[in-house]
Structures are given as C-alpha cells and as structure tokens.
Structure 1
C-alpha cells in the first residue's frame, strides 16, 4: 500500500497512551496506519515533525458563522479556525422556517469553508418544535439550542414571540423522541436582568464588572435548575452551553446526583477560563453570560479537572471593532475566538496549571465527537479522518488580530503572549495552514465538507 502522506518523527497523542513516538500514514483522507517510529512505509509525501506533537484537530461545538458578514463568514472564519487548530465547527443556524433556509446555508459553507462543519438548529418557535423530527432527518442535525435569554421583551426585540417555559418544555419533550438528540440551552433569567441593569446604569456604571453584576451568577444558576428539572421530566439529554459560574456548575452537579436518565452535558468557553470581570479588554470582552469573578474562573478549572465540564466551545462571533468601541451597555455582545481554543488551553491549562494534555484533548476534541455523533472525528485512530495538528508546545506568539484572518478586526486577547500553537493544520490529510498562514491551495479550493450527524444517517 502506497500512502498519500507519511508523518514521521512525531510525538503522537494516542487514546489511552498519551504522547507516543510513532509514525502515521494517511490515505484517502483517513488515518490508514499507525506504526512504530522508523517504520519503512512508502508514501507520495513525507512530513517530518522534528519531534513536535501531533494532536487531533479541535472540534469547536459552538460558533456563530454568519453573524459578522453573512456572505463571507464561512470563508474568513474557517480560516481563523484553522490558524489556531480548529478543524471542525458546529455553527448555529436559525431562521423563521429552517426547512426553507438550511440548504442555502449548507451550500454557502461547502463553497467557502476550508474546514469541515455541521449545524445546530436554533429553536425559537413552536413551528421549530413541530418540524423538529423532519428537519433533523432531512438535514442530518441532532443538536439544537433554545435561548432562555430571549423571553418576553428581550425576545420581542429580536423578533421572537414564542420563547417561554412552555416552549422549553415542548422542545425538550420533542427532542427526547429523537434518537441521539441533545438540546442545548442558553441559561440566563432575563426577567430579572433589567431590574439590576437599570439600577447600575442609573448609578453611572460603565465597566465590564457592571455587565457581570447586571446578570449575576444566581440568574444563570436559576435557569440551569429549570432546564435540568424540565429535562428530568421529559427524558431529554441537555447541554448547558457556555456555562460561566461556580453556582451554575454546582447546580448541574446537584442535578446529576439525582438523575438516572439521559445525561446533562456542560460546555464552557476559553474566556471563562482565562478572563475575569476586571480584564483590561473592557467592552471587547462583553459577552452573554458575562465573564465573571476570578473565583468563577477557578471554578471552571475545577470543572475541567474533575470532569464536570464536558466540552469547550468558543461562542465565536466575528463582528467588527467598531461595534465594541461604545459604552458597556451599547457595545455588541460576543467576540471571535474559535482559533484561540487550543492555544489558550495549552497556555493556561497545560503550561500554567499542569492540566494533563489528555484531558485537554478530551475537552477540545474527543468529547464533542462522541456527544455530537461525529464518529470519524476527535482522535488519532486508524480509520478516522486525518484531522491533525502539528503543535509546538513551546512556541510563543503575541495575539495579533491582523494575522488571524477573521472578519473581526480585534480580539479580547490581543497583545497577550500565548505559549503553545499549531504550526500545521491538516483537514482529512490536506494541509490548510502552515506556519500561521492559510495555504494557497486552501484559499483556491477550500474543500470543507458538511457533516450529517443524525443518528440514522451519520456519514461524517
């Protein structure tokens, strides 16, 4: 057998074994062989890693492509993802009627993206619940998101009229009927937030800590309880997305102890592990839920280490700097970050906090592949897609938005020196990033594929 690519002199992150000196061969976009170091194998191309790490590509289960430049986000944001080692993303797609919009969104991604991608569906109406089985089967989607923060007046401002506890219950009940389905929920009690916000604004507050205080941890925890309680009554698997606080995580732990049914997953984000509400990033770090106290940051790392947190997602939103250069109340929510997951986890987790590399790989790749039904992703094993990263754990770079290729022209991490970066990104064995630059071939022919994930037709 002649291989398409032979990767030599690498320390390969193998499941259950850790970093292992070995040789890896790729054929037809998949890992074809993992052999001892120095194995005599024939290949059309050889990549000498010179002792660097070979890790599985990052799966980012939480991006919002289309919220920056709808016409070009899949091009720019897939590139910024690849620069930082993200090789698969799951982006949120929502519209009035998903049956009428998803084909066009998929085509745009297939035309522009240099990495593989799938969708979650945003559930904002009873029509979405009524058509959930249909759209799941038709488009191969098995995960969804309901936005508790868009209840009442907050929802009306976005054009959503159906979001309330009834929709939450109906969506959970319907998701429980779909094999392998997971309902993600954004947890913030938006009915109390305006009361606290008005008091802070009246006091003249205009700082990042005020954004945390207008949506404090107990409002997140209260919604987490409601979601977990309703899920226990419907038998639905749920995912608390972008969880940010100690109190909310403790609420998940409490419900897990009482529950014998489908799982409660928890996703957190790099910014909740790295930034706090005193960050000099100011409005550039404005996000929902807010970045919180340093105690909450420590709680997120405790959740990383004890297994309470299941996955890491970026909550990537690629808007421009001009939307942030305003007061804390007027600045846009969210910021770019999909290409920063691995560098931040290596810098703050591996180097500074001695988090085992195997745990980082679980959180950033393997667990998302498992819970989101991506059997060909998430690990370095024979038969899986050759989504691979050559990583220099000692490479230090200053975060510079000008080099990251996102539609967004800023980063909440800009100016920070981060240790640990990929120097080469392969998607199904094809190099799309080398030494911090997207390859000419990937620019000309992006080559990203749409991933169907419904349990009955997973063809990822």
Structure 2
C-alpha cells in the first residue's frame, strides 16, 4: 500500500501508552498505520519530525466566529486556530429562526475555514425549542447553548424576551428527547449582579478585580445548581460552559453524586487556568464569567487533574482592541483565544505544573470528540482523521498579536513568553500551518469540512 504521507522520527502520543517513538502513515486524510520507527513505509511525501512530539489536534468546542467580522471570521479565526494547533472548532449560531439562517452561515464557513468545524445552536426563544428536533436533524447539530445571563432586563437589552427558568426547563426537556444531544448553559445569576455592581461603580472602581466582585463565584454556583437540578428532573445531558470557580465546580461534583442522573459535562477555559483578577491585561481580560482569584485558578487545575473538568474551550471572541480601550464597565466582553489553548496548556500545565500530556490532550481533544459525537476526531488511532500537531516542547515564543492572523488586533496574553509551541498543524493529513505561518496552499484553498454530528 502506497501512503499519501508518512511522519517519521516522531514521538507519538498514543492512547493508554503515552509517548511512543514511531511513524504515522496517512492515506485519504485518515491515519492508516502507526508503525515502529524501523518499519519502512512507502509514501508520496515524508515529513521528518526530528524527534518532536506529535499530538492529536486540539478540538475547541467553544468559539464565537462571526462576532468580529461576520463576513470573514471563518477565514481569519480558523487561521488563528491552526497556528495554535487547533484543528476543529464548534462555533455558535443563533438567529431569530435558525431554519432560515443556517444555510448561509454553513456555506460561508465552508468557503473560508482551513480547519474542520461544526456548530452549536444558541437557544433564546420558545420557537427555537419548538423547532429543536427539526433543525437538529436537518443540519446535523447535536449541541445547544442557553444563556442564563440574558434573563430579565439583561436579555431585553439584547432583544431577548423569552429567557427565563421556563425556557431553561423547556429546552432541557426537549434536548433530553434527542439522542446524543447536549445542552450547554451559561451560568450567572444576572438578577443579583446589579446590586453588587452599582456600589462598585459609584465608588469609582475601574479594575479587573471589580469585574470579578460584581459577579462573584456564588452567583455562578447558584445557577449551576439550578441547571443541574432541572437536568436531573428532565433526564437531559448538560454542559456547564466556561466554568470559572471552585464553588461552581463543587456544585457540579455534588450533583454528580446523585445515583442514576444523566451526565454533567464541565468546560473551563485557558484563561481560567492561566489569568487571575490581578492580571495586568486589565480590560483586555474582561470576560463573563470573570477571571477569578488565584485560588480558583488552582481549583480549575485540580478539576483538570481529577477529571471533574471535561473539556477546554477558548470562548474565542475576535473583536478589535478599540472595543477594549475603555474603562472596565464599558469595555466589551470576551477576547480571542482559540490559538492559545495548546501553548497555554503546554507552558502552564506540562512545564510548570507537570500535568501529563495524556491528561492535557484528553481535556483538549479526546473528551470533546466523545461528548460532541465526532468519532473520527480526538486521538491518534488508525481510522481516525489525521488531525495532528507537531510540537516543539522546548520552543519559547513571546505572544505577539500581529502574527496570530486573527481579526482581533490584541491578545490578553500579549508580551508573555510561553514554552511549548506547535511547529506544524495538519488537518486530515494536510499541512495548514508550518513554523508559525499559514501555508500558501491553505490560503488559496482553505479546505475545512463541516462536521455533521447527529
């Protein structure tokens, strides 16, 4: 058998085996053989990894492509992702009626993305719930998100009139009836936030810690309890997205101890593993839920190590620096990050904390593939897609937004020197990023594929 591609002189991260010297053979975009280094493999192209580590491509299950430049985000942000070793993303799509809007979003992404992609549906109305099975089956989408922080006045400001506990319960009940479906929920009690925020603003506070204090951990934990409790009553599988605090994670652990209840997934983000509320990034690190104190950073790493945290998602939002150059109350929420997941996990997790690569890649790739029904993704195994990242664990680079390809022209990690970076990213056996640059081939023909998951 003649292969399309062989990666040789590699240290390959294999399931249940750790780093193993060897070769990977690729045919028709899939891993066809994993062999010892001494075994000769015939291929049209050979890549010498020079002893570097080969990891499965990162799966980022939480990006907001379209929130920066709606017409071009899938081009710029997929490139940003690929530079950092992210080979698949799940982005959020929401509109008044998803039946009418999805095709255009899908076609634009197919024409622009250099990595593989899927969608979650944002549920903001009873129409979305009533049509959930229809749109799920028609478009192959098995995961959704409901925004508890857009209840009441906060929702009205965004044009959302239906978001309340009734919509939450209805969405959980409907998701429970769709095999394999997962409902993600943004958990913050937005009704209490103004009582805490207004005195801080009146006192003249304008710092990142004040943003944490206006939406403290117990407001996240209270919403987590509500979601998990309703999920248990309806039989729905839920995902607590971008979880940020020890108190909220402990609430999940408590609910998980209930015998026979459906699964509760937990996603945290690289910024909750790396930044705290004293970060010099200031408004550039403003996000919901807020970055917390260092004790919560430690708790998130504990969750990664003990399995309480299921996945890592970036919550990538590619807006411009100008939307951040304001006081903490007026600056926009969110920041870019999909291309930073792997560098942060390698620097902070592998090098500084000694977290095994197997554990890091389980939460950065394998679990997302399993939770979101992507059986061809998430690991280096024969038959899976050849989504591979060649990593130089000793390479040190300083984060520079100017070379990250994003529509966003800043990074909350800008100026930080991190150890451990991708040097080659392959999507289904095709090199899309090499030595910190997107290949000309990937620029001409992006080639990303849509991931139907239902």
Check whether TM > 0.5.
yes
Q: Is 1:368 aligned with 2:368?
A: yes
Contact 1:316 1:334 in 2 (8 A): yes
Q: Structure 1 residue 261: deviation in Å?
A: 2.3
Q: 2 CA distance for matches of 1:345 and 1:41?
A: 33
Q: Is the counterpart of residue 253 in structure 1 residue 253 in structure 2?
A: yes
Query: Where does residue 265 of structure 1 map in the other structure?
Result: 265
Q: Would the aligned equivalents of 1:78 and 1:113 in 2 still touch at CA under 8 Å? A: yes
What SS does structure 1 have at the residue aligned with 2:239? strand
Cα distance between partner residues in 2 of 1:325 and 1:190: 24
Q: Distance in 1 between matches of 2:23 and 2:432?
A: 21
Q: Tell me the distance in 2 between the aligned counterparts of 1:316 and 1:134.
A: 28
How far apart in 1 are the matches of 2:189 and 2:23?
51
Measure the CA separation in 2 of the matches of 1:58 and 1:13.
13
Taking the aligned partners of 1:36 and 1:196, their CA distance within structure 2 comes to 60
For the residue of structure 1 that corresponds to 2:44, the secondary structure is: coil
What's 1:344 paired with? Answer: 344
* Native 8 Å contact 1:244 1:300 kept in 2: yes
Provide the C-alpha distance between the structure 2 equivalents of 1:213 and 1:167, rounded to a whole number of angstroms.
28
Q: How many Å separate the matches in 1 of 2:357 and 2:344?
A: 13
What secondary structure is seen at the aligned counterpart in 2 of 1:258?
coil
User: 1:296 deviation in Å?
Assistant: 0.4
1:139 and 2:139 matched: yes
Which residue number corresponds to residue 191 of structure 2?
191
Paired residue secondary structure (1:360): helix
How is 1:87-126 mapped onto 2 (pairs within 5 angstroms)? 87-126=87-126
Structure-1-length-normalised TM-score: 0.98
CA contact under 8 A between 1:319 and 1:407: conserved in structure 2? Answer: yes
Distance in 2 (CA, whole Å) between partners of 1:95 and 1:173 is 21
Partner residue in 2 for 1:421: 421
C-alpha distance in 2 between matches for 1:18 and 1:81:
25
Deviation of the 1:229 alpha carbon: 0.3
Q: Distance in 2 between matches of 1:261 and 1:299?
A: 24
Where in structure 2 are the equivalents of 1:269-284 lying within 5 Å?
269-284=269-284
Q: 1:422: Cα distance to partner?
A: 0.5
The 3-state SS of whatever aligns with 1:89 is strand
- Residue 201 of structure 1 deviates from its aligned partner by 0.4
Match of 1:225 in 2: 225
Within a 5 Å distance, the mapping from 1:51-450 to structure 2 comes to 51-450=51-450
Secondary structure at 1:4 match in 2: strand
The superposition leaves residues 313-335 of structure 1 with CA deviations (integer Å, 9 ceiling, x where unpaired) of 00000000000000000000000
Task: Provide the C-alpha distance between the structure 1 equivalents of 2:118 and 2:417, rounded to a whole number of angstroms.
Answer: 32
Aligned counterparts of 2:62 and 2:419: Cα–Cα separation in 1: 24
Secondary structure class of the residue paired with 1:45: strand
8 A Cα contact 1:316 1:338, kept in partner: yes
Structure 2 counterpart of 1:458: none
Q: What is the CA distance between 1:260 and its match in structure 2?
A: 1.5
Q: Deviations over 1:246-275 (max 9, x none)?
A: 100000000001241210000000000000
Give how far 1:38 is off.
Answer: 2.1
In 1, Cα distance between equivalents of 2:98 and 2:16:
40
1:197-224: CA deviation from partner (whole Å, max 9, x where unpaired): 1111011101000000000000000000
* Mapped partners of 1:23, 1:65: distance in 2: 35
The separation in 2 between residues aligned to 1:348 and 1:118, in whole angstroms, is 28
Alignment partners' CA distance in 2, 1:244 and 1:41: 46
Secondary structure at the residue paired with 1:82?
helix
> 4+ runs of 1 displaced by more than 3 Å?
none
TM-score normalised over the length of structure 2 = 1.00
Do the aligned residues in 2 keep the contact of 1:8 with 1:38 (CA within 8 Å)?
no
Query: C-alpha separation between the residues in 1 aligned to 2:118 and 2:126?
Result: 23
Q: Secondary structure at the match of 2:43?
A: coil
Q: Separation in 2 of the partners of 1:98 and 1:259?
A: 36
How many Å separate the matches in 2 of 1:137 and 1:258? 31
Q: Distance in 2 between matches of 1:395 and 1:22?
A: 22
Do 1:366 and 1:377's aligned partners in 2 also have CA atoms closer than 8 Å?
yes
Flag structure 2 segments of 5+ consecutive residues without an equivalent. none
Point out where structure 1 has 5 or more consecutive residues left out of the alignment: 455-460
Change (3 A) 1:123 1:259: farther
Distance 1:131 1:259 in 2: 32
Match of 2:43 in 1: 43
Q: What is the CA distance between 1:179 and its match in structure 2?
A: 0.1
CA contact (8 A) 1:232 1:259 kept: no
Q: Give the distance between the partners of 1:334 and 1:131, measured in 2 at CA.
A: 29
What SS class does the counterpart of residue 111 from structure 1 fall into? helix
Question: What are the superposed Cα offsets for residues 143-162 of structure 1, whole Å, 9 maximum, x if unpaired?
Answer: 00000000000000111000
Cα distance between partner residues in 2 of 1:385 and 1:295: 38
Distance 1:64 1:38 in 2: 44
User: RMSD over aligned Cα, in angstroms?
Assistant: 0.4
